[in-house]
A and B are shown apart, each in its own frame.
Chain A
Amino acid sequence: MCKKNALKMWVAFASIAFGILLGTNLINEFEDFKMGAVMGFAEGNKELSKEKLPPDVYYLKVAPRTSVFNFSETTLNLKNGQAINYRNHQFKVAIPATLEIPKKVKNFEKFQTFLALAVAAFYVVILFKFVNVMRSLQKEVIFDAKNINKIRQIGYFLIANYCLMLVYNHLSFTINKQMFEFSEYIIVREKTNAIILFLGTLILIVAEVIKQGNQFKAEHDLTI
């Protein structure tokens, strides 16, 4: 009885922790999006008619060239001599792009959109598989081949997501380096959260351990 309650308690705890993880990630992404959207919308309303969309907003991570305390609100884009006003958020700046975007950069951006959609789709799949596994654990079906496969798939999808985000961040950095060069700031590569890779690997190890447990259970069941 105690073991059953302990399992249910940990399943509930894991579900809450997963919810917090997703929630905080989504809040961060939403804050970034909001900052970019607010910036872009404000700029768009100033200069363009209602039928036209606001101009692109570039959202990039920078570091000051001199001191971390010297974070001015305007800088110069050395690529075209344009003075830029921007807003700061966690060492990121959102810049309304009034430059002409090269075709190469547009293609990169299309590929980035595809990557972003793939990452979002993978997270949705991970969520569904996680919910299914938690449901099985609630029913005390633990050492099940289907469960093992689902857990393994969660691990693979997390590792795949890390790889996709790595490519996405590299593309962002490449695009930003092509579009901008600031007098007071250096453009910094966005770091990909390596904990996703570690978590994916850990989950694969757990799946292997459960598979071994399944084999031991089968042998035990066939011990007369």
Chain B
Amino acid sequence: MPIIVNLDVMMAKRKISLNELSERVGITPANLSILKTGKAKAIRFSTLESLCKELNCQPADILAWEQ
């Protein structure tokens, strides 16, 4: 898939675990894992907003496009 999810990079920079982030964002650890591993088909703006808020970053820090 050309859209790369760099969530694991941001999580490592902010030193936050999967379970903690999922609790703060309000989604299940399983769904966050699906997002982190790049298996998700789509992401809601509300979820992206929550992630950026908790990780204190921009959407471009989490999502990237590669040809």
Contact = CB atoms under 8 A, between A and B. Distances in A.
Interface of A: 218-219, 222-224
Contact of A222 (B27, B32, B41, B47): B41
Contact of B43 (A218, A219, A224): A224
Interface of B: 27, 31-32, 34-35, 39-44, 47
Nearest to B36: A224
Nearest to B48: A224
A224 B22 CA distance: 11
Contacts of A223: 40-44
Nearest to A218: B41
A25 B22 CA distance: 59
Nearest to B33: A224
A213 to B, nearest CB: 16
23 contacts: A218-B41, A219-B41, A219-B42, A222-B34, A222-B39, A222-B40, A222-B41, A222-B42, A223-B40, A223-B41, A223-B42, A223-B43, A223-B44, A224-B27, A224-B31, A224-B32, A224-B34, A224-B35, A224-B40, A224-B42, A224-B43, A224-B44, A224-B47
Contacts, number: 23
Contacts of B41: 218-219, 222-223
Nearest to A222: B41
A218 B41 CA distance: 9
Nearest to A221: B41
Contacts of B27: 224
Nearest to A219: B41
- Among A218, A219, A223, A224, max chain B CB count under 10 A is at A224
A219 B43 CA distance: 11
Nearest to B51: A224
B29 to A, nearest CB: 12
A223 B34 CA distance: 9
Contacts of A224: 27, 31-32, 34-35, 40, 42-44, 47
A11 B31 CA distance: 33
Contacts of B42: 219, 222-224
Nearest to A223: B42
A222 B34 CA distance: 8
